[in-house]
Amino acid sequence: MLLHVGEICSLIPPHVSVLALTATISCSSREEVQSLLGMKSPRVITMSPSKDNIKYSIEKFSTLDEVFTPLGKKLQSLRSSIGRYYHFLPNTK
């Protein structure tokens, strides 16, 4: 999956900022991701993202439909306020 990150970034115009987040990553893997994303001199923050205005949760789902149906509905409701979004699924074959 990580090898396809560069393909995704090829669809993003050069003037658009890219945000990459990970819970845990080694220094060498971080450098690899930065290279795959084409980041020349990225701003790297290595601290807890625990902030009052950031919320994240972990949920367990049985099917892909359970995961992506709510996401699709949310994106449709935001359609007029966001310019463009890309949604990529890993090849599960």
Tens-digit pLDDT profile for residues 48-84:
767 777 676 777 888 878 877 887 788 788 777 766 6
- Judge whether 63 lies within some domain: yes
> Residue 59's domain spans which residues?
2-77
Residue 83 near residue 12 (C-beta atoms within 8 A): no
Q: How many domains does the chain have?
A: 1
pLDDT on residue 86: 62
Residue 23 near residue 58 (C-beta atoms within 8 A): no
Q: Under DSSP, is residue 68 helix (H, G, I), strand (E, B) or coil?
A: helix
The closest of 64, 71, 86, 75 to 7, measured between CA atoms, is 86
Tens digits of per-residue pLDDT, 8-32?
777 777 787 777 777 778 888 888 8
- Judge whether 25 lies within some domain: yes
Taking the C-alpha atoms of residue 11 and residue 81, their distance in angstroms, rounded to an integer, is 20
The closest of 42, 48, 18 to 30, measured between CA atoms, is 42
Residue matched to tokens 């949920």: 59
- Judge whether 89 lies within some domain: no
- Judge whether 24 lies within some domain: yes
- Judge whether 92 lies within some domain: no
